[in-house]
Amino acid sequence: MTATLPRPDGVPVPTRVVSSRPVAVSGKSRRLAALDGLRGIAVVGVLLFHAFPDALPGGFVGVDVFFVLSGFLITGGLLREQTRGQIWLARFWLRRARRLLPALVLLVLACGTAVAAIGGDPAVGFGAQLAAAAGFVTNWRLIATGNSYFAESSPPILQHLWSLAVEEQFYVVWPLVLIGVMICLRRNRQRLLLVCGLGLLSVVAMALAALTSDIGRAYYGTDTHCFGLLAGAALALARQQGLVPRRITSDLSGALALVGLLLAIVVLPGSDRATYVLGLPAVAGLTVLIVATVAGGDGLLARGLGVAPLRQLGLISYGLYLWHWPVLVLLRYRFPGWAHDHPGWCALAVAAVSLAAATASYVCVEQPVQRLGFRGYAASLLAAVGAPGPRRPAVAGLALAVVVAGAATATASLRGPGQTTAQAQISAGERAIAAARYQPLPTAPAPAVRPPDSSAKDGPPPRPKQPLGRRTTAIGDSVMLASAPGLLARFPGIDIHAKVSRQASAVPGLMRGLKRAHRLRSVVLIGIGTNGYLGAGTLQQIRQVAGTRRQLVFVNVFVDRPWATSVNRDLTGFVDHDKRARLVDWRSAIASHLNDLGPDRIHPGPTGARRYAAAVAAATKGL
């Protein structure tokens, strides 16, 4: 397959676009050291976000930095080939495979072995995760299953491969799109405007998904989250065409953009929809400005980002990103109490293991494969096994370990449990609620009959007081759902409306529907806030729907998420100013009984459900 692609100066050049012929790749220049340093900052932000989400809520934007860098470097390489008249797609895809697959295969084998040995929550759905990772569609699987990156209590061990899936899908499609753009549009500015327009469409798509659908769809979607890749591609086009103004690539503007990026890492909340409407596009823009500055010369910012520690982190950033998440998930599952009580030590352990694994992967697997190719690397291993010497036992042991790990991974993918502990707890709550609907409701005792000779005044007998359960509507999220068996046992007749991943913003609408159906009772128990911030005015809307005569009872949250402190503060403040509102202090009730929670340290087990109901009973005493 051949095509004629014009060079930037407009001169047509015959160009072969599909071939296996190799293309020379330029060596690493000094300016690329700064890009490695920027990678180092990005991967540290992601690692710290996963370890300390409260302290660094915006660290997840490091992924968007990676996207911009990938789009810039990949497009720049394709454009350099295009100026020489040759874009060898087969060779391009082979280079991407050599770069990404060795470390990924090593990680999957290690995860499969660990999952087979440990079992439990990390093993749930491992086979489906493995299939999605092999097809580079992890992001779409997470969307289809409804997983939320910011609220999932038992996250999949390969969840972080969603970003690799987005990049791989881009690598497959983008070279073809770029070739089409170069053929169909002759003017440089038209090409740049088209790429910028595609990026803008992605920004709009993310905003619409975040506002009308859910954050998970906005965050994971290739269509909604490819604007960073396209922003990097646009910068590469602009640089090639000489369209980057010098005034925006000064050290001052680049330094200010770096400060803005670091500020986003520190403060940008992942659970706020505004982050997806404005925040992430702004991060992509700041990263473009930084890259444009350091890629243009040897300024102060380029030398600062190219310092040895950051550069070394950047070189192994891919491996660090791959390894840190499974290590963190396994440690938190295997040692939940220690990980919760000593998050700093847990983070240090994750960092140490991830650094060692990423370095070994980079030196022993990734670099040799890139240098020798898959066949050359395999031949070198076979030669080492066949040749006598000190390397022979080590290589033979490595080969045996790979075989064992492959068998363990296959076993884990076929025999994983069907539900996580949290899912089992929630399912028990759903079954309890369904069973309660078919049981007769408790009745209040009949009033005593007044004897004929009573001297009391004539009049109707006193109206019996209904049990609290008969007078209570409960609305909540998955924590209330897992606590449903305890609530139903303690408050017979309670009407529970709990749902997994329920956001606070959905509660007023649900209450209106129950009120119209005459099913909103005189006491409304509300347990929300596990999945995100309450939102401005939500509590006031709840009171408005409830009216002034209904009693509101709020349950605060115990969850290791960035918004927990804000949710509990808002609930306490509201109850303090509302005479017909009470607060159930679930946080204090469970804080010293963490063994009553599941491994996720969020959802109550059977004993925890009874403790949840006891906390509600204590807060509603006297109603």
Tens digits of per-residue pLDDT, 475-531?
A: 999 999 999 999 999 999 999 999 988 989 999 999 999 999 999 999 999 999 998
Looking at residue 14, its pLDDT comes to 43
User: Would you tell me the crossing angle of helices 564-577 and 538-546 to the nearest 10 degrees?
Assistant: 40
Looking at residue 232, its pLDDT comes to 97
In the sheet that 581-584 helps form, which strands lie side by side, from edge to edge?
495-498, 472-476, 523-527, 551-555, 581-584
Residue 126 placed within a domain: yes
Q: What is the pTM assigned to this prediction?
A: 0.82
Q: Please give the residue range of the domain that contains residue 312.
A: 30-108+121-317
Give the residue-averaged pLDDT of 457-481.
Answer: 80
Give CA 50 to chain center in angstroms: 9
Query: Does the pLDDT value for residue 337 go beyond 50?
Result: yes
Region of poorest pLDDT, from 10-14, 333-337, 479-483, 549-553: 10-14
Q: For residue 402, name the pLDDT band (cuts at 50, 70, 90).
A: confident
Residue 56 placed within a domain: yes
Between residues 600 and 586, which one has the greater pLDDT?
Answer: 586
Query: Does the pLDDT value for residue 8 go beyond 60?
Result: no
Q: What are phi and psi of 415, to 5 degrees?
A: -125, 20
Q: For residue 394, name the pLDDT band (cuts at 50, 70, 90).
A: confident
Residue 141 placed within a domain: yes
- Number of domains the chain is built from: 2
Between residues 148 and 503, which one has the greater pLDDT?
Answer: 503
Query: d(Cα 162, Cα 239) in Å, to the nearest integer?
Result: 30
Mind listing the pLDDT tens digit for each residue in 158-209? 999 999 999 999 999 999 999 999 889 888 889 999 999 999 999 999 999 9
The domain boundary residue, chosen from 272, 294, 317:
317
- In this structure, the strands spanning 581-584 and 495-498 are unpaired
Q: For residue 460, name the pLDDT band (cuts at 50, 70, 90).
A: low
The domain boundary residue, chosen from 249, 284, 317:
317
Query: d(Cα 24, Cα 17) in Å, to the nearest integer?
Result: 15
Q: For residue 154, name the pLDDT band (cuts at 50, 70, 90).
A: confident
Residue 37 placed within a domain: yes
What whole-number percentage of the chain has pLDDT above 90?
63
Looking at residue 424, its pLDDT comes to 87
Mind listing the pLDDT tens digit for each residue in 424-454? 888 889 899 988 877 665 555 555 555 555 4
Give the residue-averaged pLDDT of 80-91.
Answer: 82
CB 319 within 8 A of CB 103: yes
Give the residue-averaged pLDDT of 306-312.
Answer: 93
Q: For residue 22, name the pLDDT band (cuts at 50, 70, 90).
A: very low
Query: Does the pLDDT value for residue 458 go beyond 90?
Result: no
- In this structure, are 142 and 282 located in the same domain? yes
- In this structure, are 426 and 311 located in the same domain? no
Residue 368 placed within a domain: no
- In this structure, are 181 and 307 located in the same domain? yes
Residue 292 placed within a domain: yes
Looking at residue 31, its pLDDT comes to 47
Looking at residue 380, its pLDDT comes to 86
Region of poorest pLDDT, from 81-90, 102-111, 229-238, 502-511: 81-90
Residue 40 placed within a domain: yes
Give the residue-averaged pLDDT of 133-143.
Answer: 95
CB 616 within 8 A of CB 553: yes
Looking at residue 563, its pLDDT comes to 85
Q: For residue 580, name the pLDDT band (cuts at 50, 70, 90).
A: very high
Give the residue-averaged pLDDT of 145-154.
Answer: 69
Region of poorest pLDDT, from 19-28, 66-75, 313-322: 19-28
Looking at residue 480, its pLDDT comes to 96
Question: What is the full DSSP assignment across 172-217?
Answer: HHHHHHHHHHHHH--SHHHHHHHHHHHHHHHHHHHHHHHHHS-HHH
Looking at residue 547, its pLDDT comes to 94
> Which uninterrupted H or E stretch holds 140?
helix 138-145
Give the residue-averaged pLDDT of 283-289.
Answer: 97
Give CA 318 to chain center in angstroms: 17
Residue 382 placed within a domain: no
User: Would you tell me the crossing angle of helices 367-386 and 391-415 to the nearest 10 degrees?
Assistant: 110
> Domain with 478 in it: what CATH number?
3.40.50.1110
Looking at residue 462, its pLDDT comes to 57
Burial zone of 523 (CB within 10 Å; 0-12 exposed, 13-18 middle, 19+ buried): buried
What whole-number percentage of the chain has pLDDT above 70?
89
Average pLDDT, the chain: 87
Looking at residue 20, its pLDDT comes to 33
Query: d(Cα 240, Cα 322) in Å, to the nearest integer?
Result: 32
Query: Does the pLDDT value for residue 258 go beyond 90?
Result: yes
Looking at residue 18, its pLDDT comes to 40
The domain boundary residue, chosen from 289, 317, 345:
317
Query: Does the pLDDT value for residue 5 go beyond 60?
Result: no
Looking at residue 341, its pLDDT comes to 83
> Which uninterrupted H or E stretch holds 5?
strand 2-6
Q: For residue 569, name the pLDDT band (cuts at 50, 70, 90).
A: very high
- In this structure, are 73 and 212 located in the same domain? yes
